[in-house]
Homo-oligomer: A and B are copies of this chain.
Amino acid sequence: MKSFVLHPQLAKDTALIGRTSDCLLLLMKDARYPWLILVPEQEGLREMHELSEERLSRVSQTIKRLSLGLQTLTGAPKMNIAALGNMVPQLHIHIIARREEDASWPGPVWGVGAAEAYTDDELRVLVAALQEALLD
Task: Give A contacts to B, CB under 8 Å.
Answer: 46-49, 51, 53, 56-57, 60-61, 63-65, 67-68, 71, 78-87, 98, 105-108, 110-111
- Distance A102 CA – B44 CA, assembled complex (angstroms): 24
Q: Give the 5 A-B residue pairs with the shortest CB-CB distance, closest first.
A: A82-B82, A86-B106, A60-B60, A49-B67, A49-B68
| Consensus secondary structure, chain A interface | mixed
Shortest C-beta distance, A57 to chain B (Å), equals 5
Q: How many copies does the complex hold?
A: 2
Q: Are B80 and A81 in contact (CB under 8 A)?
A: no
- A107 is contacted by which of B53, B80, B106, B111 (Cβ under 8 Å)? B111
- Distance A82 CA – B48 CA, assembled complex (angstroms): 11
Q: Are B106 and A108 in contact (CB under 8 A)?
A: no
Across-interface contacts of A83 in B (CB, < 8 A): 80-82
- Distance A86 CA – B87 CA, assembled complex (angstroms): 23
Q: Are B82 and A106 in contact (CB under 8 A)?
A: no
Instruction: Given the known inter-chain contacts A48-B81, A98-B86, A107-B86, please indicate yes or no for A64 contacting B56, CB distance below 8 A.
Output: yes
